[in-house]
Amino acid sequence: MNGFDELANTLSQEVLSEMAENFFGTRSRLDGLLDGFQNLVRQFRQVQAQTQARFSVLHFLLLRGKEAGNFYRALGLDPGLAAFAPAELVLPGQGPAFGLTRKSRYAKTVLEAYAEAAAEAHGYMHGRFFVDARDRGRRKLTIHYTQLRELCEQINASVRKVNENLSPSGVIQYVKNFNPDEVSRENIAGAADTGYSERLDKSLRFQPVDFAGLGLLQFPDLPGPKEAEAPIREFCGRLAAQWPAEVDGLLRELDQAHDAARRAQGK
């Protein structure tokens, strides 16, 4: 082997080594991104469950969910939000509010439940700031829906780029160009691809993340408690007047659930 052939062979080996590292390294990093994203989704499902629990209390107070759709309609929101959570006392954070009349007591209690649910929904969609003691006390945002959706878009862009620019068959063909003798032998033998390249690319193709298929629920921006106070008081006043026995029963049940939760916590 003369000096030129030796240099060419050395350069070819370096190029092939770099290509292999780029090909397998890129695919490995993308695999890691996809696994990490699924782990975040699993964590976020706990946030969704917590948010649903808050809304369950609100829906319970709205005549066990029967008036939840009308409640959202009164606030100018999609009545379909009533389906976000069942009307169960999963998380009775506090008992009924104080009021001199049934109407006042009921309206205040619903307002408090709505304020808690709205705050939970905002954190669910946009995150909450917290101080991370493990990172020198830096303020960070909790994981949230908007973050996951944007991260999914970025990952899918990487998936498209890898599928289009780093296909296995393309890399194999590129490697063959460094061995013209092998290519020549294949041409002489009449070796046919017979769809092998297409099958290889299809079998090793990365699948984009179907964000809609993750089953994560989305919230519109809910009115703040102050903005919603007037329509909520009016709505609750009508219910208290129309269904007095039912409203009294709901408040009594909420009070009992709150007392039971306090006893369970030893308070």
Q: Which domain holds residue 254?
A: 3-167+205-264
As given in the structure block, the two tokens for residue 226 are 């102050």
Residue 75 within a domain: yes
Residue 193 within a domain: no
Specify the range with the lowest mean pLDDT, choosing from 40-54, 118-132, 154-168, 229-243: 154-168
Domain count, the chain: 1
- Cα end-to-end span (Å), the chain: 87
Backbone Cα Rg of the chain:
30
Residue 43 within a domain: yes
55-69 average pLDDT score? 96
For position 226, what pLDDT does the model report?
95
Residue 33 within a domain: yes
153-203 pLDDT per residue, tens: 999 998 888 888 766 555 555 554 545 555 445 444 444 455 556 676 566
Identify whether the C-beta of residue 145 lies closer than 8 Å to the C-beta of residue 211. Answer: no
Residue 112 within a domain: yes
pLDDT beyond 80 at 120: yes
Residue 68 within a domain: yes
pLDDT beyond 90 at 234: yes
Residue 218 within a domain: yes
Give the number of other CB atoms < 10 A from CB of residue 205. 13
CA atoms of 236 and 203, how far apart (whole Å):
59
For position 151, what pLDDT does the model report?
93
Residue 177 within a domain: no
